[in-house]
Amino acid sequence: MKYNASHFLDKLIEHEGIVLNVYKDSLGIDTVGIGRNLKDRGISKEELDYMDIPNINVVYQQGISEADARYLAMNDIKIVENELVKVHRCVEDLDSVRQLVLMDMAFNMGVPRLCKFKNMWNAIHEQNYEAASWEMLDSKWARQVGRRATILSDAMKAGEF
């Protein structure tokens, strides 16, 4: 992939925020850090060991550090990237800005939900980024995330932020 993962992490923090204690997200799901869903993804034993946290209960009781939140988010970025490229190989051929746009959307809503944007994907395959941009805005996701969708849609269309 061509996008800069460190730059993407900064964008995620801007969009998702960073919360070091466990909180309920908009769907009522326990979450920590930079959008780490504790219900579906949790925190693996390897991740807990790396963060020097004995068990998940400590995360619920004491939270995590900013460094831990960044570590978990970088792991999530790798997972989302692999999932996205597996179902849409064309993502690897896009420029770094459009890769970042799709990664941002995938991180926000999950790859399975992003795959439901059939018209957007058709436009991307045809390299019709203006149409892809419009399809992004014509969605429930865009109404939910507001300004974030506009920024990402504009970047999809122009190939720059």
The stretch 74-93 carries a mean pLDDT of: 96
Q: What is the mean pLDDT of residues 14-35?
A: 92
Query: Tell me, what's the pLDDT at 137?
Result: 98
**pLDDT computed for residue 14 by the predictor:** 87
Residue 126 has pLDDT above 90, yes or no: yes
Distance CA 135, CA 118 (A): 9
Structural contact between residues 74 and 13, judged by C-beta atoms closer than 8 angstroms: no
- CA 7 from centre of chain: 13
Q: Rounded to whole angstroms, how far apart are CA atoms 124 and 143?
A: 21
Per-residue pLDDT band for 11 (boundaries 50, 70, 90) equals confident
For every residue of 64-104, DSSP letters joined together read --HHHHHHHHHHHHHHHHHHHHHH-GGGGGS-HHHHHHHHH
Least confident of 30-34, 105-109, 156-160: 105-109
Would you state the pLDDT for residue 80? 95
- State both tokens at 73: 């988010």
Q: Which residue ranges form the domains of the chain, and what is each CATH number?
A: 5-158 (1.10.530.40)
pLDDT at 74: 97
Reported pTM: 0.88
Please give the mean pLDDT across all residues of the chain.
Answer: 95
C-alpha neighbours within 13 Å on the C-beta side of residue 121: 17
β-bridge mates for residue 46, sequence order: none
Contact assessment for residue 33 and residue 68, using Cβ atoms and an 8 Å cutoff: yes
The pLDDT of residue 27 is: 82
